[in-house]
Structure 1
């Protein structure tokens, strides 16, 4: 696509869809404009129109469903920010539509590995479509800085990756869809695909097997929806082994609001150690030879960010990069590929199954499902 105005449609304008609207409004100078939105819930459409007015943006056309949006011809790029369990059907409709639409799909790509694989294979028939998966944690300034540090080799060969997320419970969503595994894929797919994606990046390897322990201990236990009690876990430990010998560990707790940082990421090589802290947005780097006294603390910032939003500027940078690829200003492919999306889901599915079965789960058996 030649540089110039790029028209966006947003499918699903709940909390995250509206967050995308704000990010794109801050990219008007780059040619981004939201021309249409789709959502089956009238209240969500009203909120989107109110938001457009507050942003002094032209009112987008509104549609009750994604097919009407695709048929309208009003957009070149589609952001899929609808509930997880709707991603597969929507993506297949986009891929099979006669008009090509580039796609940014929120994580997780799909809720099952089988559906992810079908999307990967279907997209191979559409070389005219660019698809990026919204694993935007890669773009958070402290995480991005740590990725660069690891790639520089200063830490040596990465041996261990430890990620801690201690945070608040899941937010309330439309019709409480995120309270049930059947809709989300499970907490370790819905939320933690971000961290499994980062583990793969830091390890520079692919997962082999997964062991997890987790449960629902505090959150949502007194909630009922149509007579059903939520089944999403609220805490877990997950160990991931990679094919180059690196090991990763996730420590998740969703009733830990009393934390200074929501995410703490540690990468240890045979020469040194790096750490990233969010939202403090600082990075620690230390070499074994220099000991504790030699640890350097650096602030992580990115001057390009015009809007911090819900994810510390990462969604803005995600859009900025994808837009440059769409406009042909960057020769890079989308930063997060469909295979990245598939494997982040596969690790989460393996972790959920490991909790259920009480044993290690190999990635191979998950990919063969």
Structure 2
């Protein structure tokens, strides 16, 4: 290890765990020293390509006992987060835990209680906050360019859930449901942009196309593949999510709009290049549309192609890791707290309940 290098342990070496590994490899003064995953094939894929010297464990508790690292990334399946995070908090190492914080609100609350006694900081990986076009939107919103914020609209039209180990992401009991697993990102963004807490959630959703009639290990898939969700915030801001996961032909994967009494500010984010028809990178865009001039101003957002190639989240995983590494190295507090993670799960769980019952859910 080079002097001053921060050593990472990664727990969970599936698709998202390997994305974290690729991005950590781009950070100056950081290296991965240990991995843990109960799945041997997943571990083998993670160490392929020159990483064979890493300490490897089939049980995260053995990794934690062995030491030899300065911080931890948790990227295991959603329903394992509570047990793994509890052990990491007890080990007193800074941790970046993938979203959602936990698959249930009850587990989230239990983690907050444990964290009250922990010394090391815990950061929830809400990558969408760190997408460059979204960061630009938020900067302009904070600068007052939209005026008094009134409405937030988020549209994600994308590809279906990808295949994961043991098909864990086909089942609501393991994921928390699509509106927790996939959409906690967006509910976190809504809270962050509104600067307020949700007071009511109402949703309509279904599994209409993806995995209909499919079974995995004898169990039918039960996750939503489309939904509309409306969230009312306690400061009067209203937010809407339009999710479709059988729309991989869309040019823009995410469209995020913040509209106030002076202007609308919109971020347009393409999907990963590996899913585009020609495999080429599409630039994201930011558009500011003032009411006074009625002349939209469009800006292309450029991201280093090396950073884009390291993951499927438009560079956000790298930029998030830069800030997490700075916190580990120099101290400070997480930008996305366990409280933030819990609040996002709360909205997602309420949206799942609303879609299931047809009733608005008060928070």
TM-score after normalising by structure 1? 0.92
2:63 is matched with: 69
1:167 is matched with: 158
1:285 to 280, 283, 288: 288
1:19 is matched with: 19
Matched, 1:121 2:123: no
2:103 is matched with: 111
Residues 80-130 of structure 1, C-alpha deviations (whole Å, 9 max, x = no match): 000000000001111123xx211000000001111111111111111x211
Residue 133 of structure 1 aligns to a residue whose secondary structure is strand
Residue 88 of structure 1 aligns to a residue whose secondary structure is helix
Matched, 1:90 2:80: no
1:239 is matched with: 230
CA distance in 1, matches of 2:299, 2:240: 24
Matches within 5 A, 1:278-357: 278-279=269-270, 280-291=283-294, 294-301=295-302, 306-308=307-309, 309-328=311-330, 332-357=332-357
Matches within 5 A, 1:8-47: 8-27=8-27, 29=28, 31-47=29-45
C-alpha root-mean-square deviation of aligned residues, in Å? 1.5
Residue 48 of structure 2 aligns to a residue whose secondary structure is helix
2:187 is matched with: 196
8 A Cα contact 1:23 1:307, kept in partner: no
2:53 is matched with: 59
Alignment length (residue pairs): 348
The Cα of 1:59 is off from its aligned counterpart by: 2.1
Q: 1:316 to 1:142 in 2, by over 3 A?
A: same
Q: 1:272 to 1:122 in 2, by over 3 A?
A: same
CA distance in 1, matches of 2:17, 2:219: 27
TM-score after normalising by structure 2? 0.93
Matched, 1:134 2:132: no
CA distance in 1, matches of 2:315, 2:131: 6
